[in-house]
Amino acid sequence: MRFEHLVQINDPLQPLLTEVSRAQLWRGLLRRAERPAEFILGLAGATIDERSEEPGRVTLARTLDFGSFRVRDRVLLGDDGSSVTEVEAGAGHAAGRLTIRIEEPQPGSLFLRFVYESGEAGDADAVTRQLREQAYHSADIDTVWRIRELVERGELD
C-alpha cells in the first residue's frame, strides 16, 4: 500500500494564521521524532533506545508504547528537511515506512509531503484502504496544528 499527500503550512488566504518558518517547521518535526507522545493520539509513552548523530543526519531507535502493544521503529532525520520512520513488523502489523519531507516551491511557501508505504497486501478492500488514508490524513493535519501551537507558544524558536 502507498498513500501520499501534501499539507500546506503557510496559506496567504488565511492571514490570521501565524506564519511558520522552515526552521520552526523542522524543529517541530524533530520534536515529533523525539517526543512522539505529544503528537500521536493513543500513544501512552515512548522510549528512545538509541540515538546516533552523523554530519547531516540523526538516527533514533524507538519503542512506542500503545498500552496493549508496542511498536519498534527507527527514525532517520536529515538536514535536507526529511524524516523517515521505518516501522518494524510486529504481532498484528506489517512493516512500514513514513516519509515526511519539507517542500518549499517558493520562498515562504511551505508544505509537508507525507508518504506512507506499507508491506501489507495491496488487496485490502477499497473501504478499508479509504478509512486508513483518512486516518493518516487526519493525523497529519493534527501534527501540523500541534507544530503551529508550539510556534505560537514560542517553543520552536
Q: Which of 94, 101, 90 is nearest to 117 (CA)?
A: 94
Residues ≥6 apart with Cβ < 8 Å to 156: 24, 27, 28, 31, 147, 150
Helix runs in the chain, H state only:
22-34, 126-152
**What per-residue confidence (pLDDT) applies to 54?**
93
Q: Is residue 157 part of a domain?
A: no
Is position 93 within any domain?
A: yes
The answer to whether residue 90 sits within a structural domain is yes
CATH number of the domain that residue 30 is part of? 3.30.530.20
Across the 157 residues of the chain, what is the mean pLDDT of every consecutive 10-residue run? Answer: 94 84 96 95 94 95 94 95 94 90 91 91 75 94 96 95
pLDDT reported for residue 87: 95
pLDDT at residue 86, rounded to an integer: 97
> Total structural domains in the chain?
1
Range of 148's domain?
A: 2-152
Residue 23 belongs to some domain of the structure: yes
Q: What is the pLDDT of residue 112?
A: 97
